[in-house]
């Protein structure tokens, strides 16, 4: 099974700061990687897919990069509504697998 | 508007069975893969099963042989039959639509989830 590892587990930033979240795959997933945001009590929301394509309606402050085994989600200037949990997910191999998540919290 | 509404989550005893449903609307259901994803309280997301437009099914090892995903296109409905339930299956179960485009594959719409609790 392909393992996705996210770091850090928790990231503390102040509003307006840049946030960088990492995701590493145990083997290459090419660019077959997505990022999801989840707020308490809500379903996940698609942010990024194809490693770098923003989903419809996602603000430009969210960007994704990487390929192979190393991926990054960057929030250029964190807004109050961005404090949430973030998950990466690979769809290159069955079974589909998620990372364990990064919690973005207010510093 | 795309909507996915799950139902069927209840308290069930270990070893028991349960069938979850997901009612879809706002899109051509038969044209999309569909998935189940679960989340235990305070934990991360775990993909549980998928069914393609052609009816091909996929499972992770943790549920293979115990869970069965199915779809009824005429009723715009997705199902998850869960047998031999264990405490570790306790979670909120989400149905999600799988969607392809030139940039990749996504779970682009999710339901709000239904809670399954396995306990004696």
Write out pLDDT tens, residues B78-89: 999 999 999 999
Which pLDDT score is estimated for B104? 84
Strands B57-58 and A62-67 turn out to be unpaired
pLDDT for residue B101 is more than 90 = no
- Whether A49 sits inside 8 A of B103 (CB atoms) is yes
Average of per-residue pLDDT across B23-28: 98
Q: Is B36 in contact with B45 (CB distance < 8 Å)?
A: no
DSSP helix/strand/coil, A18: coil
Q: Is A58 in contact with A64 (CB distance < 8 Å)?
A: no
- Whether A34 sits inside 8 A of B104 (CB atoms) is yes
Per-residue burial over B96-115, b if 16 or more Cβ lie within 10 Å, else e, is bbbbeeeebbbbbbbbebbe
Instruction: Give me the percent of chain B exceeding a pLDDT of 90.
Output: 94
Average of per-residue pLDDT across A79-83: 96
pLDDT for residue A86 is more than 90 = yes
- Whether A44 sits inside 8 A of B111 (CB atoms) is no
Average of per-residue pLDDT across A56-64: 97
């Amino acid at each position: 099974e392909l393992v996705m590892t996210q770091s850090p587990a928790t990231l503390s930033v102040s509003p307006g700061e840049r946030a960088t979240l990492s995701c590493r795959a145990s083997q290459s997933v090419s660019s077959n990687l997505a990022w999801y945001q989840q707020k308490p009590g809500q379903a996940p929301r698609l942010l990024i897919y194809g490693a770098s394509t923003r989903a419809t309606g996602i603000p430009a402050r969210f960007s994704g990069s990487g390929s192979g085994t190393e991926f990054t989600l960057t929030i250029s200037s964190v807004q109050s509504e961005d404090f949430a949990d973030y998950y990466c997910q690979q769809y290159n191999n069955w079974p589909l697998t998620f990372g364990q998540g990064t919690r973005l919290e207010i510093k | 508007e795309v909507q996915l509404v799950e139902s069927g989550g209840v308290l069930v005893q270990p070893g028991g069975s349960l069938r979850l449903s997901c009612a879809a609307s706002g899109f051509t259901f038969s044209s999309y893969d569909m998935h189940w994803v679960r989340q235990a309280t305070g934990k991360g997301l775990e993909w549980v099963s998928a069914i393609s437009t052609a009816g091909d099914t996929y499972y992770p090892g943790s549920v293979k042989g115990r869970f069965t995903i199915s779809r009824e296109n005429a009723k715009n409905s997705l199902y998850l039959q869960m047998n031999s339930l264990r405490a570790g299956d306790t979670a909120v179960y989400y149905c999600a639509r799988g969607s392809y485009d030139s940039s990749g594959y996504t779970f682009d719409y999710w339901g709000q989830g239904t809670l399954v609790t396995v306990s004696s």
